[in-house]
Amino acid sequence: MTQTKVIVGLGSCGIAAGANKVYNKIKALQEAEKLNFELAKTSCIGMCFREPLVEVIDDNGSMIYGDVDEDKAIEIIQQHVIGLNPIKDYVVKTDLFTTPDSVYFDGQIKIALRNCGYIDPENIQEYEDRGGYSALKLIAKDKIAPDVVIQTIIDSGLRGRGGGGFPTGMKWRFARASQSAEKYIICNADEGDPGAFMDRSLLEGDPHAVIEGMIIGAYAIGATDGVIYCRAEYPLAIKRLNIALAQAHERGYLGNNIQGIEGFNLDIHIKEGAGAFVCGEETALMASIEGKRGMPSKRPPFPAESGLWRKPSNINNVETFANVSYIVSHGAGSFNKYGTEKSKGTKVFALTGKIKHGGLVEVPMGMSLRDIIFKLGGGIQNNKKFKAVQLGGPSGGCIPEHLIDILVDYDQVNATGAIMGSGGMVVMDETTCMVDVARFFLDFTQKESCGKCTFCRIGTKRMLEILSRITVGEGQEGDIEKLEELALQVRDSSLCGLGQTAPNPVLTTIKYFRHEYEAHIRDKKCPAHSCKKLLTYEIVADKCTGCTVCAVKCPVKAIDGERKKVHHINQDICIKCGDCYSNCRFDAITKS
């Protein structure tokens, strides 16, 4: 009989939901009653919509409990751990029986996330027990040449998971071909879109996978130093990275003559960034590492020729590096058997927005958006109608309902006007105003513009001004055409990827939802009933009971009427705050 193990998910999402209190409650109970079980920690397993999560592993298998608070934690310990009687109603995942949430994992293939939720990220031994650092050891043991490693990555079909989708192995080959006594391997962990949630979760849950991928990449290109550029807003990720780097040094995975490979010397350090979105662009990122303002520079020369400190450099993002050791250990075929002709392997997405099951999913390339949203994601909250999905972060595009059956594939996604990005997937329903969505994302990218390019600095500002006018009912004929013209100029004339992709939300919403723009401009109405300035609230006489709640709640006294008689809204006074609508218990107020 093995000792029962209780594991609490302590990623940022779990901690925010109260997982620390759950862990402390279980620990206090264990100590007070001298209970014989192992209490351990892990990170996020992706099921963020059920946090806090507690897993119990015993001779019968594994059961993961969701929505655990302190009271439920006591029940689980008393009934399951002590009484050997699992509480099935609380279980969200187990191999022993099907749960309503089992569908969340159906179709997922975990490669990048293979260890997240299964190991204590602060314990290198647990990483090694699941095959960690075996790829690096294999390279050392079999004396696999750098060019062979690069060819394996090329054969796998791994493309950069940070947005551009450039073949990783080719990028490494260019860096290896550059002649220099100093080279750098850099991990971009500073991307600022919803997909950055994925980067943070990987760093928190499996930092050694990223580090091992960087070490292998350094060996392949001949790098002498490594940098992880991570935003300072990720304190838990930085803490666990520092622990992992120290452990890797102790075990001989970093330092001099790594794993007995003569002349292979590497150190990796962390550079904390200030969270500037533009620093997701590689030349701006390198400028920031050098202590300069994060601003992009012209290419060529490309980083593979002249990068950090003007030395050959290679930059990949967190998810890309997390795949590397798996590919080297299991072979290129283990990765490229998944996906489509030009998009191989798996992709991690951060599901958010109007979706029932928000969190991280890792799916094979080639799965349809419909299956991701409606099977894994559980569909739309409150059973409302799906309208669009914004893919690729703030610089991504909006894909409408009639294209929901496209496959997750770089070419198919790009053809819609969206981009794969680093994996942000924002789901929208019928109550979402697409004009306001474009305004929201452009507001972000405009503020994040470094200001170096006139087209990006001024063009995005003018576009934002037009969108802001439209959403408050001040749109004019010709505004749509002005937006399109400005968007194309910004896209075609900006220096870096931020400016070149910033117009995507505008261009795609005009392309697929032009009628919403026209309704805002011509009819001064928001079809989604979302833009407050364009709403009209009215009282339905047949439903009004004269309860006076609406009149009491109105902050400007725009509603009058006697008790038990139909009330009226004075449209000249109404500020369209919606308090009457949200407080009416009889559905007697409509908005249009």
Q: Which tokens sit at 99?
A: 């749960």
Q: Whole-structure pTM over 0.85, yes or no? A: yes
pLDDT at residue 107, as a whole number: 87
CA distance 548 to 545: 8
Based on the domain organization, do 132 and 200 belong to the same domain?
A: yes
Based on the domain organization, do 202 and 275 belong to the same domain?
A: yes
pLDDT at residue 193, as a whole number: 53
Q: Is residue 220 part of a domain?
A: yes
Based on the domain organization, do 404 and 388 belong to the same domain?
A: yes
Q: Is residue 212 part of a domain?
A: yes
pLDDT in tens, the chain (592 residues): 578 999 999 999 999 999 999 999 999 999 999 999 999 999 998 999 999 999 999 998 999 999 999 999 999 999 999 999 999 999 999 999 999 999 998 889 999 999 999 999 999 999 999 999 999 999 999 999 999 999 999 999 999 998 778 999 999 999 999 999 999 999 999 765 544 677 889 999 999 999 999 999 999 999 999 999 998 889 999 999 999 999 999 999 999 999 999 999 999 999 999 878 888 889 999 999 999 999 999 989 999 999 999 999 999 999 999 999 999 999 999 999 999 999 999 999 999 999 999 999 999 999 999 999 999 999 999 999 999 999 988 889 999 999 999 999 999 999 999 998 878 899 999 999 999 999 999 999 999 899 999 999 999 999 999 999 999 999 999 999 999 999 999 999 999 888 999 999 999 999 999 999 999 999 999 999 999 999 999 999 999 999 999 999 999 999 998 999 999 999 999 999 999 999 999 999 999 8
Q: Is residue 104 part of a domain?
A: no
> Cα-atom radius of gyration of the chain, to the nearest Å?
27
Question: For the packed helices 196-205 and 207-221, what is the interaxial angle rounded to 10 degrees?
Answer: 100
Q: Is residue 341 part of a domain?
A: no
Q: Which domain does 394 fall in, by range?
A: 346-429
Between β-strands 38-42 and 5-9, what pairing exists: parallel, antiparallel or unpaired?
parallel
List Cα–Cα distances, 101 to 46, 227, 376, in angstroms: 12, 39, 9
Based on the domain organization, do 304 and 282 belong to the same domain?
A: yes
Based on the domain organization, do 479 and 394 belong to the same domain?
A: no
The answer to whether 388 touches 398, Cβ cutoff 8 Å, is yes
Q: Is residue 35 part of a domain?
A: yes
Query: What is the per-residue burial (b if ≥16 Cβ within 10 Å, else e) of 458-469?
Result: ebbeebbebbeb
Based on the domain organization, do 166 and 256 belong to the same domain?
A: yes
The strand pairing partners of 559, in sequence order, are 569
Q: Is residue 529 part of a domain?
A: no
Domain-ending residue, one of 429, 455, 486: 429
Based on the domain organization, do 164 and 277 belong to the same domain?
A: yes
Domain-ending residue, one of 402, 429, 456: 429
Q: Is residue 136 part of a domain?
A: yes
Domain of residue 286, CATH code: 3.40.50.11540
Q: Is residue 115 part of a domain?
A: no
Angle value at C-alpha 406, between 400 and 409, nearest 5 degrees = 120
Domain of residue 404, CATH code: 3.10.20.600
* Number of domains, the chain: 5
Based on the domain organization, do 176 and 211 belong to the same domain?
A: yes
All residues at 6 or more sequence positions from 33 whose CB lies less than 8 Å from its CB, including other chains: none
Domain-ending residue, one of 99, 116, 140: 99
Based on the domain organization, do 323 and 257 belong to the same domain?
A: yes
Domain of residue 471, CATH code: 1.20.1440.230
pLDDT at residue 194, as a whole number: 46
Based on the domain organization, do 303 and 413 belong to the same domain?
A: no
Domain of residue 76, CATH code: 3.40.30.10
Based on the domain organization, do 222 and 307 belong to the same domain?
A: yes
The neighbour count for residue 75, using CB atoms within 10 Å, is: 15
pLDDT at residue 276, as a whole number: 85
Strands (DSSP E) found in 300-383? 313-317, 346-353, 359-364
Based on the domain organization, do 145 and 193 belong to the same domain?
A: yes
